[in-house]
Amino acid sequence: MEEKELYFIYKDKDDYAQFMSLLESYNVSDNEKTLNLKLVNYPDTLYLSDGLKANQKALFVGEIGDSSSSKKNVEYIFSKYGVRYGWSGPNRAYIDIDDKLVKDKRVYEAFIEEFTQLPVMYARTEDATQRNKLGRFFKTFIVPMGFIRTIAEVNMDAAAVRKQLRAYALIMFFNNHLQEFLMKN
């Protein structure tokens, strides 16, 4: 498979770091499986000043300037806990976050329960047999970046909840739909 280039467009640099760690962990976890992807760091300020060519693959995380006008034809393929993502045509993927759905404590607790059970790829420092245990992943990446905290620690702080939702969205997209998006022509 030829190397694909994906422009990662974001406002919060933690989102880029999270996605990059997923990609690096995937590529070093198993020598037989690698994702032939060049991730291009493209902050929203760069996108707003330079734009993209129509044939460049891009993943937009959150609201980025005029991206809402581009979302008219988005085919959303995932929607849960206020997280949804999908694509518009073969070259534009969008991750949207609406934290209103997790304002209810019971919904938030259900979200955290599911979030902590996600199968993800892990840092190269982790034993390969442990890579599907999310707790190790949280210790390595998510806790230092402030993504996972208990409901008491977060106290429904909207910014912290949005970070958690974006981390959940990135992991879900990476694990379940990234390759499908990359193969779209």
pLDDT at 169 over 80: yes
The dihedrals phi and psi of 48, each to the nearest 5 degrees, come to -65, -30
The 10s digit of each residue's pLDDT in 10-34 is 999 989 988 988 888 776 655 556 6
Tell me how far the alpha carbon of residue 28 is from its chain's centroid. 19
- Round to whole Å and give the CA distance between 65 and 45: 9
Judge whether residue 146 has pLDDT over 70. no
- How does pLDDT run across 95-134, given as a tens digit for each residue? 999 888 888 888 888 998 888 887 664 333 333 333 334 4
Q: Residue 65: count other Cβ atoms within 10 Å of its Cβ.
A: 16
pLDDT at site 70: 66
Q: Kindly tell me if the per-residue pLDDT of 80 is higher than 50.
A: yes
Helix (H) or strand (E) segment spanning residue 105: helix 105-115
Measured between alpha carbons, how far is 42 from 29 in angstroms, rounded to an integer? Answer: 26
pLDDT at 153 over 70: no
CA dist 135 and 116 (Å) reads: 7
